[in-house]
């Protein structure tokens, strides 16, 4: 698979809450433009089911599709992955990662600078905002393959504060645990009331 970038978030999830979180994810993806049949095939029947190594892989094998968004053909694929304290000992509870992946080569100027193409910036920001509409109680990040999950891992592992800011864009609710620290000088921030 070529390099990817993604909008991603992490939600604490007791087993009994799983279907509610899964269904909100399906609603979010439906509003994004995924067809009902695709969503039901790849996510509609997922149950909280752990493999022998305590990962929940169900929901990370969705096929990449092309959608027409904001006058662009967008190659995307969603994922839903369960994480447990058995695997990540820093976790206090089960966590579900929800993500929407983009092919990086389509959205950046070049790999050297890794700058997001100007014409893709509104689409990525609107995607983050759509995820926030459905999951407003958690931080939502836009990261690339190199920084995949790094801000979240920094929080749960109490890493150096600089690691908290390893993302290209994000919405971080004021009540998010760990984000009481000020960002580094190189991070642009804007508070939303």
* The pair of three-digit structure tokens given for residue 120, joined into one six-digit string: 């893709």
Q: pLDDT digit string (tens) for 28-42?
A: 999 999 999 999 999
* 164 or 93: which leads in pLDDT: 93
Q: Taking CA 63 as the corner, what is the angle to CA 78 and CA 22, rounded to the nearest 5 degrees?
A: 35
Q: What is the pLDDT of residue 1?
A: 37
Q: Please answer whether residues 43 and 73 qualify as being in contact, where contact means their C-beta atoms are separated by less than 8 angstroms.
A: no
Give the Å distances, CA to CA, from 132 to 44, 46, 117, 136, 170. Answer: 21, 22, 22, 5, 10
Q: pLDDT digit string (tens) for 74-90?
A: 899 999 988 888 888 88
Question: Domain boundaries in the chain?
Answer: 4-171
Q: pLDDT digit string (tens) for 92-130?
A: 888 899 999 998 888 777 666 667 788 888 899 999 999
For residues 53-67, give the mean pLDDT. 79
**Going by C-beta distance under 8 Å and a sequence separation of 6 or more, which residues neighbour residue 168?**
5, 116, 142, 143, 144, 147
Q: How confident is the model at residue 132 (pLDDT cuts 50, 70, 90)?
A: very high
Q: What is the pLDDT of residue 182?
A: 56
Alpha helices by DSSP H, the chain? 18-32, 36-39, 104-107, 121-134, 150-156
* 163 or 26: which leads in pLDDT: 26
Least confident of 12-16, 42-46, 59-63, 120-124: 59-63
Separation of alpha carbons 115 and 165, rounded Å? 16
* The pair of three-digit structure tokens given for residue 24, joined into one six-digit string: 């909100």
- The pTM for the full model equals 0.84
């Amino acid at each position: 698979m070529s390099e990817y970038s993604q909008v991603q978030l992490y939600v604490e999830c007791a087993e009994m809450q799983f279907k509610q979180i899964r269904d909100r994810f399906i609603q979010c993806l439906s509003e994004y433009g995924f067809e009902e049949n695709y969503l039901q095939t790849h996510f509609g029947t997922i149950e909280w089911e752990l493999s022998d190594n305590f990962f929940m892989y169900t929901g990370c094998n969705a096929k990449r599709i092309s959608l027409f968004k904001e006058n662009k053909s967008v190659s995307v694929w969603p994922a839903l992955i369960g994480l447990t304290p058995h695997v990540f000992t820093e976790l206090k509870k089960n966590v579900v990662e929800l993500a929407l992946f983009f092919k990086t080569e389509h959205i950046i100027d070049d790999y050297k600078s890794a700058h997001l193409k100007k014409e893709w910036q509104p689409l990525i920001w609107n995607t983050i905002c759509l995820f926030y509409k459905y999951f407003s109680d958690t931080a939502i990040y836009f990261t690339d393959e190199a920084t995949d999950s790094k801000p979240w891992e920094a929080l749960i592992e109490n890493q150096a504060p600089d690691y908290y800011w390893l993302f290209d864009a994000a919405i971080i609710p004021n009540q998010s645990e760990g984000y009481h620290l000020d960002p580094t000088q190189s991070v642009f921030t804007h508070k939303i009331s």
